[in-house]
Amino acid sequence: MALPSQSEEQIQDREFLRDVLEGLGRRQKALPCKYLYDETGSRLFERICELDDYYLTRAEADIFSKYLTDMARRIGPAALIVEPGAGNCKKVQQLLRQLDSPTGYYPIDISPEILMAAQGRMAAQLPGLTIRAAVGDFSDPEAWTGLMDFPACKKVVFFPGSTIGNFSPQHAEDLLAFFKSMLQPGDGLLIGTDLVKDAVVLERAYADSEHVTAAFNKNILVRINNELNADFDLALFAHRAFYHPLRQRVEMHLVSLKTHSVHIAGTRVYFEEGETIHTENSHKYSVAGFNCLLGKTGFTPVCHWSDIQRRYAVHYAQV
Ligand code: AVJ
């Protein structure tokens, strides 16, 4: 008997439901942070990047403007830039313009809406550049298969925005090793990391005075309500972000303000007053610590650039 065929959307919903129930079934409730970045989440994150409190984006942009020619020289001519988690593809544009006859650009992102809009804009702004976008999870080899459509050339993985900070040190190591497995000797990695600093500054960046980060965090509950037929009451959860110095990371949580239960697709989930859902980590590195991580994954650190206040660093490494 033929099984009814399932739409991509149904399959994604099932994975989402499975991940949500698995995460909320743990002693420390948790949700995979990738679910923060749907269309609404990605747009809220863009607003976070413009906040005064969120210094990361500006610190990184300053480094890029100041050292762009140096970066382009390190990368060299005819490179193919691969950008995992490209989002709106804004950061890469000045780099692509600076590069000596780049072979192409290959953005990978899980949000098709944001990626497709960006692809159209980029094609108009960088005529002559071959762009091929891939919709998918960048840690899945499937998302990288489109690279085969490009001619053989030097590849450079562009991973700005401190996205690597979302991963635990072990997972960061696995991810960088995975990137390396997609590359050949001589290929490069241009990657941004937020640096370890005063907890007050870090916490302000993730608990901003305009409460945009709070909305971003709570959006994951909105998604569960909309997509998984759940009844989270947003007023019963508060945004919390704190720096954990031993783990060298900012943790983002949603705190249940009272003891209650929630229904998710027919399953009841209980919350104690004060209990939290851990939604995201943002790891901070020292330059030495990050070089050590690069070394462990088979990359050779070449150089790094930092802002005057040493809040942030962009590293260039080679296979
Ligand atoms: C996209 C992972 C780099 O950790 O700084 C910002 C995400 N979350 N504010 C970060 C985020 C809340 C951001 N990254």
The pLDDT profile of the chain, 319 residues, written as one tens digit per residue, is 555 566 767 777 789 999 999 999 999 999 999 899 888 998 999 999 999 999 999 999 999 999 999 999 999 999 999 999 987 788 899 999 999 999 999 999 988 887 888 888 888 888 889 999 999 989 999 999 999 999 999 999 999 999 999 999 999 999 999 999 999 999 999 999 999 999 999 999 999 999 999 999 999 999 999 999 999 999 999 999 999 999 999 999 999 999 999 999 999 999 999 999 999 999 999 999 999 999 999 999 999 999 999 999 999 999 9
CB 280 within 8 A of CB 45: no
Report which ligand 1 atom has the smallest distance to the Cα of 161.
Answer: 3
pLDDT at 68: 97
CB within 8 A of 8, min separation 6: which ones?
none
Q: Token pair of 66, please?
A: 């100041």
pLDDT at 128: 85
Q: What are phi and psi of 61, to 5 degrees?
A: -60, -40
Name the one residue in this structure whose structure tokens are 């409190």.
53
Measured from CB, residues less than 6 Å from any atom of ligand 1 are 48, 56, 161-163, 165-166, 206, 213, 216, 252, 280, 282
Q: Token pair of 195, please?
A: 């640096």
Q: Token pair of 84, please?
A: 């995992």
pLDDT at 5: 63
- Predicted TM-score (pTM) of this structure: 0.90
Strands 155-159 and 188-194: parallel
pLDDT at 89: 81
Helix (H) or strand (E) holding 18: helix 8-24
In the three-class reduction of DSSP (H, G, I as helix; E, B as strand; rest coil), residue 198 is classed as coil
Report which ligand 1 atom has the smallest distance to the Cα of 56.
Answer: 5
Q: Which residues of 242-255 are buried (b: 16+ CB within 10 A; e: fewer)?
A: ebeeeebbbbbbbe
pLDDT at 142: 96
- Smallest Cα–Cα separation from 35: which of 17, 11, 8? 17
User: Of the residues 35, 45, 49, 278, which should be mutated to test ligand 1's pocket, given the most ligand atoms within 8 Å of the CB?
Assistant: 45
CB within 8 A of 101, min separation 6: which ones?
77, 78
* Per-residue CA distances from 114 to 55, 82, 110, 189, 250 (Å): 23, 17, 9, 24, 26
Q: What are phi and psi of 11, to 5 degrees?
A: -65, -40
Question: CA 228 to CA 269: how far, in whole Å?
Answer: 13
